[in-house]
């Protein structure tokens, strides 16, 4: 019997994961079926994520170094840079404006009297972290001993070092052809391993979704219902309407065609809540299904996975406004502008791991004098929201690589 395509298997895995999760949730947490089911799902899901993380570091390093080095042939390096950073900033700005507008419009925090919030506020002590301090910490984290960065899986620092290596390879030209060839073969080898890991993806995604759905506390989601709906709604609006529209206007790629090529990565991002863990899949989709040239994809996608996070930017801005709503504070235009910038920095600074946005969120709150403790209300509902925003984060990287490819070609 011929198996359905991997793409189809992943979709089927995701759907059955959600179905089984709902079924287990219905059985109640103490039933033997739920306990055994969750144990098995936890085991398989963890192994799948571990495998992705295992291959992540060699993949990021080789793909960026080779990507940058190969741009040399096109004499387009600076255009790719400009287009990439320009697109990242632009799409995150659109996402933040969308998030701010939605919360201003729907005011989901008004009239909500949460005991949880008051508790959180009670032991509020102003820990100050200014924008300056955040920027300093961020800069400090960029340049790290590459061996330590590789060993610790510090993706941002690896990206930076790989950029240096790539640029040095370009500058040195022929002199380093052996090192370039070695890296190129290393990249091929890594991608081959990614291909093997992907065979496990349908099962891994199913397991992760069983766990996500079965262990989410529905009552908690309902308490913050309006906020949850507004966030998921705007995140989907950005991901299903705005990004595809930008993509279509710039490149002519239709939403359907994009979805077909991108869905493996979107579903993986949703299930893992981690842009970094999804990176091997994203890169595969972009190169193999969406036909972005490896030198562009190898540069845009790993960089995007670390710094381009539309969903996170949208969420951080919206959540800050929501917290202000809850506290009965109206943020004026100037303060909302501060939220705009800190949310962008927060999204850039957040590593692509689950709930990372929650950590940088603290800075956004504090930049306009809101208590960091308010995170206590947001954390328990974060698993579900994180799944949506991570999918949009990854989508932004894929759209970005297509847009950059088009812009660079058009200018050539
Ligand atoms: N989980 C997100 C990601 O990996 C980051 C976040 O928490 O917003 O893209």
Give a yes or no: residue 220 inside a domain.
yes
Give a yes or no: residue 199 inside a domain.
yes
Mutational test site, ligand 1, from 156, 278, 389, 394, max ligand atoms within 8 Å of CB: 389
274 lines ligand 1 (CB under 6 A): yes
User: Which ligand 1 atom sits nearest the alpha carbon of residue 277?
Assistant: 4
309 lines ligand 1 (CB under 6 A): yes
Q: What is the overall mean pLDDT for the chain?
A: 89
User: Which ligand 1 atom sits nearest the alpha carbon of residue 276?
Assistant: 4
Percent of the chain with pLDDT over 90: 58
Domains of the chain: total: 1
CATH number of residue 256's parent domain:
1.10.3860
353 lines ligand 1 (CB under 6 A): yes
For residues 243 and 77, which has the higher predicted lDDT (pLDDT)? 243
With the CA atoms of 125, 130, 133 and 138 taken in that order, what torsion angle do they form, in degrees rounded to the nearest 10? 100
Q: What is the mean pLDDT of residues 158-182?
A: 92
- Domain with 310, as residue range(s), is 6-411
359 lines ligand 1 (CB under 6 A): no
pLDDT digits (tens, 9 = 90+) for 224-281: 889 999 999 999 999 999 999 999 999 999 999 999 999 999 999 999 999 999 999 9
For residues 68 and 292, which has the higher predicted lDDT (pLDDT)? 292
Mutational test site, ligand 1, from 53, 320, 393, max ligand atoms within 8 Å of CB: 393
User: In this structure, what token pair is assigned to residue 51?
Assistant: 């495998």
Give a yes or no: residue 256 inside a domain.
yes
Residue nearest (by alpha carbon) to ligand 1 atom 1: 354
The structure's pTM equals 0.87
Residue nearest (by alpha carbon) to ligand 1 atom 6: 357
Query: In angstroms, rounded to a whole number, what is the distance separating the alpha carbons of residues 72 and 59?
Result: 20
pLDDT digits (tens, 9 = 90+) for 12-25: 999 999 999 999 98
Give a yes or no: residue 206 inside a domain.
yes
287 lines ligand 1 (CB under 6 A): no
Residue nearest (by alpha carbon) to ligand 1 atom 8: 357
56 lines ligand 1 (CB under 6 A): no
Give a yes or no: residue 300 inside a domain.
yes
349 lines ligand 1 (CB under 6 A): no
Give a yes or no: residue 1 inside a domain.
no
Q: How far is the CA of 389 from the centre of ligand 1 (A)?
A: 7
User: Which ligand 1 atom sits nearest the alpha carbon of residue 274?
Assistant: 4
Mutational test site, ligand 1, from 390, 392, 395, max ligand atoms within 8 Å of CB: 390
pLDDT category, 126, cuts 50, 70, 90? Answer: very low
190 lines ligand 1 (CB under 6 A): no
pLDDT category, 119, cuts 50, 70, 90? Answer: low
Percent of the chain with pLDDT over 70: 93
Residue 18 vs residues 25, 149, 219, 365: alpha-carbon distances, Å: 10, 36, 18, 33
272 lines ligand 1 (CB under 6 A): no
């Amino acid at each position: 019997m011929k198996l359905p395509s991997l793409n189809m298997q992943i979709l089927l895995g995701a759907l059955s994961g959600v179905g089984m999760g709902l079924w287990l949730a219905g059985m109640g947490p103490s039933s033997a079926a739920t306990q055994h089911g969750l144990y098995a799902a936890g085991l398989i899901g963890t192994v799948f994520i571990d495998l992705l993380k295992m291959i992540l570091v060699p993949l990021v390093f080789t793909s960026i170094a080779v990507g940058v080095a190969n741009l040399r042939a096109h004499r387009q390096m600076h255009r790719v840079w400009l287009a990439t950073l320009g697109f990242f900033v632009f799409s995150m700005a659109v996402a933040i404006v969308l998030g701010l507008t939605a919360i201003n419009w729907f005011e989901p925090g008004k009239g909500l009297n949460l005991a949880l919030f008051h508790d959180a506020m009670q032991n509020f002590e102003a820990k100050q972290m200014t924008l300056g301090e955040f920027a300093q910490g961020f800069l400090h984290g960029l340049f790290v001993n590459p061996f330590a960065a590789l060993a610790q899986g510090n993706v941002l620092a690896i990206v930076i070092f790989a950029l240096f290596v790539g640029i040095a390879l370009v500058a040195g030209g022929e002199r380093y052809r052996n090192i370039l060839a070695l890296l190129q073969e290393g990249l091929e080898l890594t991608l081959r391993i990614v291909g093997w890991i992907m065979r496990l993806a349908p099962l891994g995604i199913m397991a992760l979704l069983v766990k996500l759905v079965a262990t989410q506390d529905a009552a908690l989601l309902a308490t913050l219902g309006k906020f949850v709906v507004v966030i998921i709604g705007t995140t989907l609006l950005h991901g299903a309407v705005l990004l595809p529209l930008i993509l279509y206007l710039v490149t002519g790629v239709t939403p359907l065609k994009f979805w077909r090529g991108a869905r493996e990565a979107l579903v993986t991002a949703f299930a893992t809540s981690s842009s970094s863990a999804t990176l091997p899949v994203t890169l595969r989709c972009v190169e193999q299904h969406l036909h972005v040239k490896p030198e562009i994809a190898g540069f845009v996608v790993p960089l995007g996975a670390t710094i381009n996070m539309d969903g996170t930017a949208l969420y951080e801005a919206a959540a800050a406004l929501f917290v202000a709503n809850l506290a009965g504070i109206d943020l004026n235009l100037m303060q909302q502008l501060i939220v705009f910038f800190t949310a962008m920095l927060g999204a850039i600074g957040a590593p692509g791991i689950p709930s990372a946005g929650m950590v940088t969120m603290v800075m956004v709150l504090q930049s306009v004098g809101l208590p960091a403790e308010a995170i206590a209300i947001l954390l328990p509902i974060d698993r579900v929201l994180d799944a949506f925003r991570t999918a949009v984060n990854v989508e932004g990287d894929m759209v970005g690589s297509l847009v950059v490819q088009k812009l660079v070609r058009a200018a050539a």
